[in-house]
Amino acid sequence: MEVRNSARGKTANHKILRRILISSGVILIGIIGMTTLAGLKKPPKEVRVDERPIRVEALRVHSEDAQVYITGYGEARALKQVVISPEISGRVIATHPRLKVGEIIPKDDILFQIDERNYIAARDEARTAVQQWKTTIARLKTQQNIDKARLKTLERNAVLAKAEYERYKKLEANNVGTRSGMERAEQAYNTASDQAAQMAESVTLYPIRIKEAESSLAAARARLVMAEANVERAQVRAPFNGRLKAVSIEQGEYVSPGKPALTLADDSILEIQVPIDSRDARRWLRFDKPSGSDQAAWFSGLTPVTSRIHWTEDKSNHTWEGTLHRVVKFDQKTRTLTLAVRVEATAARSTGSGLPLVEGMFCSVSIPGKTLYGVFRVPRQAVSFEETVFIANGSRLKTLPVVVARTQGQEAFIAGGIADGDLVITTRLVDPLENALLTITNLPEKDSPS
């Protein structure tokens, strides 16, 4: 049994060894075949990969002093306009031949006329009353002088009558005269005294009567002034050279005091009220030193600088000039400061082929502010939202953080972070690789970085 088991073990080992040898031979043949085939294939040519540069435009910056402009928007308005209403009632009997909206009416021209016959009659009546009271005062003064003279006569008569009475009284006491004679003398004395007293009272009252008459004369004169004014008010004249903005009156219409008849605008001075950000006002608006006599707690010493005005609907570059006049108001809710810019008629008239500046135009106004010293002017798109710029460091891109002093229109003013003569890339780049190779397309070859 042992011999039989030993023979079986040797046979199994021979089978395993044969399988190993066969597998190794197959693998060896495959390796030899792969090596042979690989030797028959030609290797590919090597391709050199060059770095591709980014094509950009750049600006060589230099420090400068830049004027800051504060820009706002507002509508041009006539500085002075009035709503004219009749001051008396009546029927309109005449109007100006050019009483139409948009017409220019010269100063002192009659705009419309109201029927004045009733007011002329009232004026004449008032004049008559004034003359009557003047005559009354003159009569009273003359009568006063006459009565003063009569008073002296009556007083003298009273003195004489008293002396006569005293004489008769003595005679009667001495039983010389008669009692009836004494009584007649006493009666004459009493009559003379009474007449003198009445005349004295009348003379005393004359100043009071004259003052009363003078008061009545003053009242009559006041009525005359009012009546004459009403006659003048029947003709309504233009208070200045003005443009008719609104007309609501017709010939033959009955008008009453206070009812608006027309609106007249003076276009000799226009004003534009421009709201600006209060932070811009605080940082850039120019104020002179206020005078010592200025006691009001308001914006004083505003510098009246010349401002540029542009109509927003005008595609050309035509502008007008105005003068910064005052601060109108401060709005706490919107944090805005409203400025008034005035434009004279001579400046509002167009010097070229364009339209003049007129009321109703919506305009942009550029107001000169303070000056920035030693800043770099670059296009606005050259500065990112993170306040960084790309510069050409040799022929490579470099990112620098900067200090932006102000953005104004399409320009940005940089106060720090770059140096004089740096090449700032003006092409807008989106996430470029730092140190990327650059090709600057807008500079001469001699100015390009090496």
- Is the domain of 209 the same as that of 175? yes
Does 49 reside within a domain?
A: no
Structure tokens at 409: 């229109």
Angstrom distance (rounded) from CA 128 to CA 134: 10
Answer yes or no: are the C-beta atoms of 416 and 388 closer than 8 Å. Answer: no
Q: What angle do CA 218, 232, 109 make, to 5 degrees?
A: 155
Domain range for 132? 118-231
Among residues 106, 370, 71, 80, the alpha carbon closest in space to that of 238 is found at 106
Residue 11 belongs to some domain of the structure: no
Q: Of 260, 264, 262, 263, which is closest to residue 242 (Cα–Cα)?
A: 264
Q: Is residue 2 part of a domain?
A: no
Distance CA 25, CA 28 (A): 5
Same-domain check for residues 374 and 271: yes
Q: Which residue has the tokens 């707690």?
A: 297
Query: Residues 273-307: pLDDT tens digits?
Result: 999 999 999 999 988 766 555 567 788 788 999 99
Q: Does residue 108 or residue 450 have the better pLDDT?
A: 108
The reply to whether 192 and 326 lie within a common domain is no
Candidates 312, 285, 311, 319; CA nearest to 300 is: 285
- 307 with 331, same domain: the answer is yes
**Is pLDDT at 183 greater than 80 in this prediction?**
no
Are 244 and 106 contained in the same domain?
yes
Last residue of a domain, one of 214, 231, 248: 231
Q: What's the confidence (pLDDT) of residue 292?
A: 54
Assign 123 a pLDDT band (cuts: 50, 70, 90).
very high
CA-based R_g, the chain, Å: 56
Closest CA to 395 of 21, 52, 47: 52
Structure tokens at 329: 């108001």
- CATH number at 430 reads 2.40.30.170
Overall number of domains in the chain: 3
Average pLDDT over residues 365-380: 94
DSSP, res 141: H
9, pLDDT greater than 80: no
Q: Are 434 and 391 in contact (CB under 8 A)?
A: no
Give 91-116 as a 3 state SS string: EEEEECCCCCCCCEECCCCEEEEECC
Higher pLDDT among residues 159 and 47, named by residue: 159
Burial class (CB in 10 A: 0-12, 13-18, 19+), 450: exposed
Neighbours of 253 (CB within 10 A): 13
Q: Are both 307 and 336 inside the same structural domain?
A: yes
At 177 the pLDDT is 62
Within this chain, do residues 338 and 363 fall inside the same structural domain, yes or no? yes
Note whether 412 and 383 are within 8 A (CB): yes
Does one domain contain both 179 and 122? yes
> Which of 414, 422, 415 has its CA nearest to residue 393?
422
CA distance 185 to 172: 12
Q: Within this chain, do residues 254 and 376 fall inside the same structural domain, yes or no?
A: no
Is residue 20 one of the residues assigned to a domain?
A: no
Residue 261 CB: number of other CB atoms within 10 A? 21
Task: Give me the mean pLDDT over the 53-77 stretch.
Answer: 93
How high does pLDDT run on average in the chain?
87
- What pLDDT was estimated at residue 3? 47
Question: Which CATH number fits the domain that encloses residue 106?
Answer: 2.40.50.100
The rounded distance, in Å, linking the Cα atoms of 148 and 347 is 76
pLDDT value, residue 51: 78
Residue 25 lies in a domain: no
**For residue 10, what pLDDT band results from cuts at 50, 70 and 90?**
low
More confident residue, 188 or 361: 361
Q: Is 391 exposed, middle or buried (0-12, 13-18, 19+ CB in 10 A)?
A: buried
**168 located within any domain:** yes
The pLDDT value given to residue 42: 66
Task: State whether 213 and 253 are in the same domain.
Answer: no
Cβ atoms of 82 and 244 within 8 Å: the answer is no
Q: How far apart, in Å, are the Cα atoms of 169 and each of 64, 159, 162, 163, 302?
A: 126, 15, 10, 10, 100
Residues 281 and 429 in one domain: yes
- Cα gap 169→434, rounded to integer Å: 147
Contact 424, 58 (CB under 8 A): yes
Identify whether 32 is part of a domain: no
Task: Centre a 10 Å sphere on the Cβ of residue 164 and count the other Cβ atoms it contains.
Answer: 18
Same domain membership, residue 348 and residue 209: no
Distance CA 82, CA 175 (A): 99
